[in-house]
Structure 1
Amino acid sequence: MTKDLTTSTISRQNILNNNLALEKIESTLALGGICWCDKTFFTKTQVAQILTIDERTIDRYIESHKDELIKNGYKIIKGKELKSFKEYVDDMNVVDISRAPSLGIFSFRTVLNIAMLVTESEKAKLIRSKILDIVLDVMVQKSGGHTKYINQRDEDYLPSAYKEYNYRKEFTEALNLYLDANKWKYAKYTNRIYEIVFLENAAEYKKILTLTEKDCVRQTMYAEVLNAIASFEHGLAIEMKQASEKLERKLTTDEMDKLIESASQNPYLVPHIHDARAKMASRDLCFRDALHNKLEAYIQSVPQSDFDKFLGETSKSLEERLSDPETLAVFKRLKDR
């Protein structure tokens, strides 16, 4: 999947949703602008000057990418808003603003958005290069340079990992008690669940994330993915027990395969599975620069809340969380259930 900012909507939006990086980009580029209503805006004339392009070029991009630009702060003001804005504007920066019935203005995010779209400008190309450098620096700084375990910075990770560990034990015990198969059944059916939840087996997943043989796959998974796996394991363990007791014998592998196939189409599980796929595909591409080819159809832009979750004030390393009394209290409540 391309990450060329001029052609990839998702790559552009992942940058524009990253408020931590935007703050650094704004202070570094120092593009100026007009402070109005406690925010910085730019007129079309100013944007054209910044990118050294004709205003008609900007008009073409507004026409072709209108929805995207509006989403990222482009707006047309008129009436009282326009009258208020005129008080902050030097007439030399805007053509005929005194007689204009309306005016299109660009937020800082919109200016970056335009710079990521324009192919006719060398200045825009330089800005794109600077943007990518800053985004990478912020990612390294905030994650401590270890994106392999960036999933563990989510405050929901540890409770989800703990619950999944318990359901994992329940599932492996069920395989032992209710399935008539060889010793490879644990790895086989673990991979089967992975393939249903995120369409990859453990070996494929490790290769995509460039994990070593010693790396534990589940320690790199997001809370939502662990929750989907845990739900699947828990449901299968119960169904295996019920089916085995009804038949008064252990299940065959064919019977087990039918249970798994039925569970994969369970209407209660399907939404959680699709959510897990979208979260894994989108976050790994954004935070780990890892593309899950089999999940490409699920890739979306990463929302602002995810940047806060994994890089912002509420994110912490696993070591910090394990020393947090509130986290330990959560574990105690889970253990006492």
Structure 2
Amino acid sequence: MANDLTSSQVERQNILNNKYALKKIENHLRLGGLEFEGDSWLTKQQLMTLFDVSDSTIEKYIANHGEELKANGYKVLKGKKLNEFKSLHGGTVNDYGTKISILGVFNFRATLNLAMVLTESERAKEIRSRILDIVIDVVAERAGGHTKYINQRDSDYLPTAYTEYSYRKVFTDALNDYLDMDGRHKYAIYTNKIYQLVFKENAKEYKQLLKLAKNDNVRDTLYSEVLKAIGSIENGLAHEMKDKSEMLSRKLKPLELNEIINRLEINPYLKPVIDDARTKMASRDMTFRDALHKKLEAYIQTVPETDFDKFLGEASRSLEEQLSDPEVLEVLKRLKDR
């Protein structure tokens, strides 16, 4: 996670989409505010005091980041809504008096958003630093103390990993039956080619980036969407190898298999699957594992709120907890019996 939130809207939004971190941040900062419609709101005047900045400074950031701030809770009250807001607070709002016809207000989320972009305020800088500390703590705490296997907390992980294992077996059998290449190293060579096709890194590069140990299995750390992409390619490759080998009445040469793999990279049917896998890996690893896949940097997007539920929420569980669930075991049994 970048230390300078002022420069990345994606990283700002990743924090603002993490409701688990927001709750802890709110409890820690206790910024207060005026209660309205189930939320706490700060006026521009209150923000000027909080951040020790001028009215014109706040207005500048509303002008430059208006859409982002509105998406995170900033709103302009007028008419009936403004009268309701004022009536809850004695008919006046701070120093604005009774004659105001419009009033911009920030809920907690929008206030944090402003603190993340406000460079003229030392108080905002302090808040940004504390936000980053709390987010790191919350992710680690809810992931059970480490994030190496946070991918396994997804309820889709186990069924997907089990299915992918069967595709892996189909592929390794095809390498054995249809590829004219000696030695067991061919399995590692072509596994790396698939990894590079899907996420542009070989196993060694991936392990270094995630700081995995020598004996850690790469696939144990992959998200279910990445495993699905790999499984699709492995299964398709196995069938293409078989068809090509039977057509030629011989095993394939490595160069011939390489040509098949090169064509897959531009296959329009696979592109959506590969793009989705790259986006999920790049975006989630930056957010949950503090790991930047430089070769996938163009695929980084904001992590949606649903992903925080998937990996940090009450429904997310460690692999050990999932394996002790009779319903999960029944799903795996059905997959085995297919």
For the residue of structure 2 that corresponds to 1:271, the secondary structure is helix
For 1:192 and 1:119, how far apart are their aligned partners in 2?
45
2:3 and 2:132 in contact (8 A); partners too: no
**Displacement, 1:97?**
5.2
For 2:254 and 2:3, how far apart are their aligned partners in 1?
43
1:117 and 2:107 matched: no
Question: Unpaired segments of 5 or more residues in structure 1?
Answer: none
1:77 and 1:105 in contact (8 A); partners too: yes
Task: Report what 1:102 is aligned to.
Answer: 102
Task: Report what 1:307 is aligned to.
Answer: 308
Task: Report what 2:171 is aligned to.
Answer: 171
Show CA shifts across 1:34-56 (max 9, x none): 11111121111111122121121
1:256 and 2:262 matched: no
Task: Report what 2:54 is aligned to.
Answer: 54
1:46 and 1:93 in contact (8 A); partners too: no
**Percent of paired sites with the same residue:** 58
Amino acid corresponding to residue 256 of structure 2 in structure 1: E
Q: How many matched pairs? A: 337
For 2:77 and 2:97, how far apart are their aligned partners in 1?
12
2:48 and 2:55 in contact (8 A); partners too: yes
Show CA shifts across 1:131-189 (max 9, x none): 12211221121111110011011111111110111100000000100111122221111
Show CA shifts across 1:200-244 (max 9, x none): 000000000011110000000000000000000001001111111
2:78 and 2:101 in contact (8 A); partners too: yes
For 1:90 and 1:71, how far apart are their aligned partners in 2?
29
For 1:256 and 1:246, how far apart are their aligned partners in 2?
14
1:43 and 1:106 in contact (8 A); partners too: yes
Task: Report what 1:238 is aligned to.
Answer: 239
Amino acid corresponding to residue 42 of structure 1 in structure 2: L
1:4 and 1:11 in contact (8 A); partners too: no
Matches for 1:88-237 after TM superposition, within 5 Å: 88-90=88-90, 93-96=93-96, 98-183=98-183, 184-237=185-238
User: What is the CA RMSD across the aligned residues, in angstroms?
Assistant: 1.4
Matches for 1:15-94 after TM superposition, within 5 Å: 15-90=15-90, 93-94=93-94
Amino acid corresponding to residue 173 of structure 1 in structure 2: D
Show CA shifts across 1:236-279 (max 9, x none): 00111111111111111121111111222221211010111011
For 2:173 and 2:3, how far apart are their aligned partners in 1?
44
Task: Decide whether aligned partners of structure 1 residues 88 and 24 sit closer, same or farther in structure 2, where only a CA change above 3 A counts.
Answer: same
For 1:322 and 1:141, how far apart are their aligned partners in 2?
21
For 1:150 and 1:287, how far apart are their aligned partners in 2?
8
Task: Report what 1:274 is aligned to.
Answer: 275
Amino acid corresponding to residue 194 of structure 2 in structure 1: I
**TM-score, scaled to structure 2:** 0.96
Show CA shifts across 1:105-148 (max 9, x none): 11110000111111111111111122122112211211111100
Question: Unpaired segments of 5 or more residues in structure 2?
Answer: none
2:172 and 2:187 in contact (8 A); partners too: yes
For 2:215 and 2:120, how far apart are their aligned partners in 1?
48
Amino acid corresponding to residue 202 of structure 2 in structure 1: N
**Displacement, 1:77?**
2.1
For 1:182 and 1:104, how far apart are their aligned partners in 2?
71
1:317 and 2:318 matched: yes
For 2:17 and 2:63, how far apart are their aligned partners in 1?
22
